[in-house]
């Protein structure tokens, strides 16, 4: 049987664990992106500005408690895979069937391939869950799958276990599909069914091999990082080395893709260019994230918080809040307190903006605030890097700093960004 066709975009799909976590900007921070780009170090590396986003368009459900989502681009890839299998691959290797049979085989193959990809991601996610790392979810998208983990592995051994499990599942699936195809063939099953099994065995093998390339953020890059971390005992150095390998790999893919496109090998070349570009930016992002978190690790929340924030009473109307507080203070969020002085939540300018002008008099702050139960709480003594990681997974990117039950400060993503900026400038000086 002919080797796996290289003409179509499904030849490489990658899996990537948590490439886009750090200091996610709050949804209401319009304009903040621009601010960031104007910051010194970010202007140079444009880390945050060029970061590709993997967003979930549909929620598919939960497996083992882990939310599974899908980006709309998966539909496009599903169609491309089915189309190339039904339109060229199966007719070439197994001629003489009806078009409908090819399409059925193509669709089944494409769906089972995405199921295999999901199994690969679940491998990472389930191992992470067992190691007490919170998994926000798995998203399938254009280039494959992403498992979003909310914190980092605490040892090289944990990092290795999380990274290794995905490719191991793909290798297992590859062998399983190949054995099933051999069994079906021996049992004289229809040749198209055997063909689908062989194809699935092959692509799962390719998926495992490609992802084992020693280049972050691919699984192989994480294995490399775990090994270097174990050998050198320095996590930051290991992350930077693995990310550098990822950048080289990204450049190599772009180069190969451009050459393929130039010599007329089809759209597969362009696909490689996009994939390389994606890997390049993800590797660059991982590197700067590690450097920044490392800079923050030497500092405490108390050093970067805005102390003694302006607190507003919860029965205040939105109109009064706008007149008496917003216009006279530079803050973009205000902690809210009840009459017994207990803090009950936080209200942001974005939330105030959503209240139509005609309703401002009769809407009280309490009804639009984010309740304290949904806010990130910290203490002045928490290491700043730990808070930064927690803020990245919070909805509005702000934390209240409490000490002995009293509010002493507030930290926003912007505060953290500014601190990183100062620290980086000081390091460069």
Residue 15 interacting with Zn ion (CB under 5 A) = yes
> Is residue 166 involved in binding Zn ion (CB under 5 A)?
yes
Contact range with Zn ion by CB under 5 A, out of 154-162, 164-172, 337-345, 347-355: 164-172
Enter the tokens of residue 257.
Answer: 């893709």
Window contacting Zn ion (CB under 5 A); options: 101-109, 161-169, 179-187, 330-338: 161-169
**Whole-number Å distance between alpha carbons of 125 and 199:** 26
Residue whose entry in the numeric block shows the structure tokens 């104007």: 38
DSSP 396: S
Q: Which is nearer to Zn ion, 36 or 122 (CB)?
A: 122
Chosen residue from 159, 219, 286, 314 binding Zn ion by CB under 5 A: 219
Binding mask 233-272 for Zn ion (x = CB under 5 A): ----------------------------------------
Could you say whether residue 159 binds Zn ion (CB under 5 A)? Answer: no
- CB-based burial label for 251 (10 Å; 0-12, 13-18, 19+): middle
Give the pairing of strands 312-313 and 333-337. parallel
What residues does 293 pair with on adjacent strands? none
Q: Which residue, 166 or 397, is less far from Zn ion as judged by CB?
A: 166
Strand order in the sheet with 14-17: 14-17, 144-149, 135-141, 66-70, 58-63
∠ Cα 260 263 267 (to 5°)? 50
User: Smallest distance from the beta carbon of 114 to Zn ion, in angstroms?
Assistant: 14
Smallest gap from Cβ 159 to Zn ion, in A, equals 13
CA distances from 195 to 90, 101, 110 (A): 8, 12, 13
Shortest distance, CB of residue 276 to Zn ion, whole angstroms?
Answer: 18
Residues in the interface with Zn ion (CB under 5 A) total: 4
* 211/419 with CB nearer Zn ion: 211
Minimum CB–partner distance for residue 218 and Zn ion (Å):
7
Q: Are 383 and 407 in contact (CB under 8 A)?
A: no
| By CB under 5 A, residue 220 contacts Zn ion | no
For 48, phi then psi, to 5°, come to -85, -30
Q: Which of 7, 56, 101, 121 is catalytic?
A: 121
- Chain positions 81 to 110 lying near Zn ion, rule: CB under 5 A, are none
| DSSP reduced 3-state for 305 | coil
**Residue among 212 and 280 whose Cβ is closer to Zn ion:** 212
Is the Cβ–Cβ distance between 118 and 47 less than 8 Å? no
Known catalytic membership, residue 303: no
From the CB of 211, what's the least distance to Zn ion, in Å?
5
- Least CB distance from residue 143 to Zn ion, whole Å? 12
Q: Which residue, 142 or 387, has its beta carbon nearer to Zn ion?
A: 142
Of 427, 429, 424, the residue nearest 40 (C-alpha): 424
Q: Which of residues 278 and 325 has its CB atom nearest to Zn ion in the complex?
A: 278
For 395, the token pair is 């909805």
Known catalytic residues are 121
Q: Which residues bind Zn ion (CB under 5 A)?
A: 15, 166, 211, 219
């Amino acid at each position: 049987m002919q080797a796996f066709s290289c003409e179509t975009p499904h030849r490489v799909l990658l899996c990537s664990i948590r490439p886009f976590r750090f200091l996610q900007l709050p949804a209401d921070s319009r304009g903040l992106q621009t601010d960031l780009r104007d910051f010194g170090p970010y202007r140079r590396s444009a880390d945050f500005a060029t970061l590709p986003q993997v967003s979930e368009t549909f929620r598919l459900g939960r497996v083992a408690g882990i939310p599974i989502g899908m980006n709309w681009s998966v539909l496009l890839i599903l169609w491309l895979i089915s189309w190339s299998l039904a339109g060229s691959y199966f007719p070439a290797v197994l001629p003489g069937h009806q078009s409908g049979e090819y399409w059925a085989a193509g669709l089944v193959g494409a769906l089972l391939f995405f199921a295999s990809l999901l199994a690969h991601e679940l491998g990472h996610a389930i191992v992470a869950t067992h190691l007490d790392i919170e998994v926000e979810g798995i998203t399938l998208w254009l280039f494959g799958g992403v498992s979003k983990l909310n914190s980092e592995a605490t040892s090289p051994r944990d990092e290795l276990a999380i990274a290794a499990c995905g490719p191991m599942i793909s290798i297992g699936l590859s062998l399983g599909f190949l054995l099933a195809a051999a069994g079906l063939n021996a049992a004289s099953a229809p040749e198209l069914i055997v063909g689908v099994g062989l194809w699935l065995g092959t692509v799962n093998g390719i998926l495992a091999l490609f992802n084992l390339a020693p280049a972050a953020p691919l699984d192989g890059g994480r294995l490399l990082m775990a090994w270097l971390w174990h050998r050198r005992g320095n996590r930051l150095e290991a992350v930077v080395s693995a990310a550098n390998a990822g950048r080289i790999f990204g450049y190599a893919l772009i180069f190969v893709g451009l050459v393929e496109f130039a010599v007329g090998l089809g759209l597969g070349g362009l696909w490689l260019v996009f994939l390389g570009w994606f890997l390049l930016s993800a590797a660059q992002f991982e590197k700067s994230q590690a450097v920044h978190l490392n800079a923050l690790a030497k500092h405490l929340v108390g050093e970067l918080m805005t102390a003694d924030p302006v607190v507003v009473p919860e029965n205040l109307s939105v109109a009064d809040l706008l007149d008496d507080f917003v216009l006279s203070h530079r803050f973009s969020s205000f902690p809210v307190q009840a009459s017994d002085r207990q803090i009950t939540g936080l209200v942001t300018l974005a939330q105030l903006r959503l209240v139509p002008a005609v309703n401002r008099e009769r809407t009280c702050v309490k009804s639009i605030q984010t309740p304290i139960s949904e806010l990130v709480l910290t203490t002045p003594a928490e290491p700043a890097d730990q808070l930064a990681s927690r803020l990245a997974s919070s909805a509005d990117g702000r934390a209240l700093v409490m000490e002995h039950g009293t509010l002493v400060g507030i930290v926003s993503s912007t505060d953290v960004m500014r601190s990183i900026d100062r620290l980086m400038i000081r390091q460069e000086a």
